[in-house]
Amino acid sequence: MKVRYLNVREAALLALLSKKPAYGFELVEESPALIEGGMPKGGVYNLLYKLRGLGFVNAAERTATSSEKGGNDRLYYSITPEGRKSLDDFFSTVQNLRTRSGTESPETT
């Protein structure tokens, strides 16, 4: 089986979805927490389409609650077990690289 490595933006979206299912524009709004400057709307939707095709996210249409913006039907995305494994592998790879290079994050210094 061929290994498929995530890039940073893909990992950021999966990390957001690992917390809770979300619709596309919600991910656009939350992306600055993980990616400096955030991610453009088109970029988020393109990545969601790609991650869905890889089996890393599922999508389901549902009506937004009254507390959510708009209240229209939206496509909500959620991480799959395959997506969670890929995200875990990404973080493990990053940790291994940091350990081997001797670098530490600002949080640990």
Q: Is residue 2 part of a domain?
A: no
What one-character-per-residue DSSP string does 25-64 give?
A: HHHHHHGGGTSTT---HHHHHHHHHHHHHTTSEEEEEEEP
Q: Is residue 22 part of a domain?
A: yes
User: Model pTM?
Assistant: 0.80
Report yes or no: 51 and 57 within 8 Å, Cβ to Cβ. yes
CATH number at residue 72: 1.10.10.10
Structure confidence at residue 88 (pLDDT): 93
pLDDT in tens, 46-69: 999 999 999 999 999 987 666 666
Q: Which domain holds residue 31?
A: 8-101
Quick one: pLDDT band at residue 38, thresholds 50, 70, 90?
A: confident
Q: Is residue 45 part of a domain?
A: yes
Q: What is the DSSP letter of 73?
A: E
How far apart CA 48 and CA 59 sit, in angstroms, is 9
Structural domain count, the chain = 1
Q: Other C-beta atoms within 10 Å of 10: how many? A: 22
User: Higher confidence at residue 80 or residue 32?
Assistant: 80
